[in-house]
Amino acid sequence: MRAAFKKVWNRGDGFIWLAGAGLSLSLIMTAALLLAIFFNAAQFFWPGETVKLFVEDGRAILGEITGREDIPNPDNPEAPLKYRVQVKQGNRDIHGTDFLWVEESSIKATQLPQDAVVVERREWGNFYGFIKEVRDQGNVLAQGAEKGMKILEELIPVSNDNINAIQKIARKNIGAVNFYMEKNRLELKKLKLEGIDNGKAVEKLRMENDELQNEYKTFEAQLAELRKSQTAEAVFTTINGVEKVIPLSQIIRIYSPNNFGWFDKINFFLVKGWEFISDEPREANTEGGVFPAIFGTVLMVMIMSLMATPLGVLAAFYLREYARQGAMVSAVRIAVNNLAGVPSIVFGVFGVGFFIYFIGGSIDSFFFSEALPTPTYGTGGILWASLTMALLTVPVVIVSTEEGLASVSGGIREASFAVGATKFETTWRVVLPAVMPSILTGLILAMARAAGEVAPLMITGVVKLAPTLPIDGIWPFLHLERKFMHLGFHIYDVGFQSPNVDAARPMVFTTTLLLIGIVLLLNFTAVILRNRLRKKLAVSGV
């Protein structure tokens, strides 16, 4: 028996099956995870039908069915299972909540009313109901569902353009004026701290300030004008007959999904998907897009790469090429490897203590003392977050660069020396190019880790909602001291800190999908670059 087992074992078939099973299991689990995320995320943009439910107690509910689950009945486990459905009824300003659970057995009838519309609002979430009329300063422009829809489809793009114009002035022009005014104020304060109260410099600054004030007033006037020009409003009725007046400036889009054909649905899906990628979040991050988070994530990863790669490569070169191999270098190498296993939050705490308080605080007291006690660099920002991440990922770069260096054959080094190159020339012109693919491998791993890490960022500069991007049109364009948004943190915030959990849950999936997509994209770019290099270095593995 034992001999027979031994024979089978030695033949190795069992091992092959075991190895195969291990691989399949990992692949299946990964694929299942990705598929679950993908389907849940895709549903979020797909327009659901607006259903009218008649419930036993005489209520009528209008909304979208978003979930179904069985009702646990521990007292009587033998009884047939009962189900309840989750309905998104919207109208938060009227009902108080967006979502409602209805027992399935209590639903007497369902209908798909053709005239039901969904109104996406800038505030208070979706409105579900019926168009009564559209009016402008007391004049009725249209009445009823069909005509109302037609005129709204004409008016809403105009009002959206108007809102965009208003936002542009508010954010770009007035933002710039505010920025320069603050700068002006700080310069005045600086002069005051130096004991200069009057004179040419102060006069000049005051004049500039007045000019800025005038500019501000001009923009304010423009804004008021634009706001006044929006007077149209639409009157809706809810399923219960309550009338609701919504100004057009509050409406982002209006649609009646029950009339949608396939083409309309796909179009809607794409428009919503694009909005998610390109827009800013609204309503405590539960609506709108995640553009600032995408931007912050990518920028943070890039700054991190710029810091971590040279540092890691230099360290690896010293360790492998210049340091005298011995106990000391071995100890350093082990320490570097272990550094990769330190919990990320520890790096975060270090970042706060060293980068923010010590370095940032010193920068503030030397260069931005006029702004104190408001910190400039002495608080979390994208620079400190990136530096913390660079520290976290530098071991990965060191390890893979070192492995690359070890695999560069001694032969080509000798060959370089033999034509008269110095050690530096050899390192720079022969070894570095040969080790480039390994450096890129390290960079890929580092980027994947940095993009997915959240804990250290939470304390070094990520915020729930950043008012401005770290890059804008105001000199010096890249504002490294600014706080930023990050997709990983966004997932945490939307999924677990949101006041409206049910509304936000689908966004967790979409944001996750996006984060995975961005990591893949960054990696893919680096992989292509690496393959190109490899191709240039060697055609085959001869």
Judged by CB under 8 A, the chain residues 430 through 489 that form the site for other proteins are 430, 433-434
Q: CA-to-CA distance for 55 and 83, rounded, in angstroms?
A: 14
Judged by CB under 8 A, the chain residues 90 through 109 that form the site for other proteins are none
Span near other proteins by CB under 8 A; candidates 184-192, 253-261, 405-413, 487-495:
405-413
Binds other proteins (CB under 8 A): choice among 8, 29, 224, 415: 415
Binding of other proteins by 425 (CB under 8 A):
yes
Span near other proteins by CB under 8 A; candidates 95-103, 189-197, 234-242, 408-416:
408-416
Binds other proteins (CB under 8 A): choice among 79, 81, 109, 539: 539
Closer residue to other proteins (CB): 430 or 469 = 430
Closer residue to other proteins (CB): 11 or 429 = 429
**H or E segment to which residue 116 belongs:** strand 116-121
Place of tokens 């700054």: 303
Binding of other proteins by 421 (CB under 8 A):
yes
Binding of other proteins by 38 (CB under 8 A):
no
Binds other proteins (CB under 8 A): choice among 429, 478, 496, 525: 429
Closest CA to 122 of 156, 173, 172, 169: 156
Binding of other proteins by 345 (CB under 8 A):
no
Span near other proteins by CB under 8 A; candidates 399-407, 427-435, 460-468, 521-529:
427-435
Binds other proteins (CB under 8 A): choice among 422, 497, 525, 531: 422
Q: Dmax over Cα atoms in the chain, in whole Å?
A: 104
For 58, left (φ over 0), alpha (ψ -120 to 50), or beta?
left
Q: How far is the CB of 403 from other proteins (least distance, A)?
A: 16
| 86-to-43, 428, 450, 524 alpha-carbon distances in Å | 15, 64, 37, 40
Other Cβ atoms closer than 10 A to 499: 9
Quick one: 374 exposed, middle or buried, by C-beta within 10 A (0-12, 13-18, 19+)? exposed
Q: How far is the CB of 426 from other proteins (least distance, A)?
A: 9
Binds other proteins (CB under 8 A): choice among 79, 137, 409, 477: 409
Q: How far is the CB of 438 from other proteins (least distance, A)?
A: 12
Closer residue to other proteins (CB): 325 or 337 = 325
CB of 265 closer than 8 Å to CB of 253: no
Angle ∠(139,140,141) on CA atoms, nearest 5? 110
Binding of other proteins by 416 (CB under 8 A):
yes
SS3 category, 462: strand
Other Cβ atoms closer than 10 A to 256: 19
> If you write DSSP's letter for every residue of 218-275 in order, what string do you get?
HHHHHHHHHHHT--EEEEEE-TT--EEEEEGGGEEEEE-GGG--HHHHHHHHHHHHHH
Closer residue to other proteins (CB): 182 or 414 = 414
Quick one: 325 exposed, middle or buried, by C-beta within 10 A (0-12, 13-18, 19+)? exposed
Q: What residues have CB less than 8 Å from 319, skipping those under 6 apart? A: 329, 332, 333, 336, 398, 402
Q: CA-to-CA distance for 383 and 481, rounded, in angstroms?
A: 6
Binding of other proteins by 327 (CB under 8 A):
no
Tell me the one-letter amino acid at 8.
V
Span near other proteins by CB under 8 A; candidates 71-79, 143-151, 415-423, 439-447:
415-423
Q: How far is the CB of 419 from other proteins (least distance, A)?
A: 4
Binding of other proteins by 29 (CB under 8 A):
no
Q: How far is the CB of 308 from other proteins (least distance, A)?
A: 25
Q: CA-to-CA distance for 403 and 179, rounded, in angstroms?
A: 49
Tell me the one-letter amino acid at 107.
I
Binds other proteins (CB under 8 A): choice among 418, 473, 476, 477: 418
Judged by CB under 8 A, the chain residues 517 through 536 that form the site for other proteins are 535-536
Closer residue to other proteins (CB): 58 or 410 = 410
Closer residue to other proteins (CB): 109 or 327 = 327
Q: How far is the CB of 525 from other proteins (least distance, A)?
A: 22
Q: How far is the CB of 422 from other proteins (least distance, A)?
A: 6
Closest CA to 503 of 149, 200, 66: 66
Which positions lie near other proteins, rule CB under 8 A? 409, 411-412, 414-422, 425, 429-430, 433-434, 535-540, 542
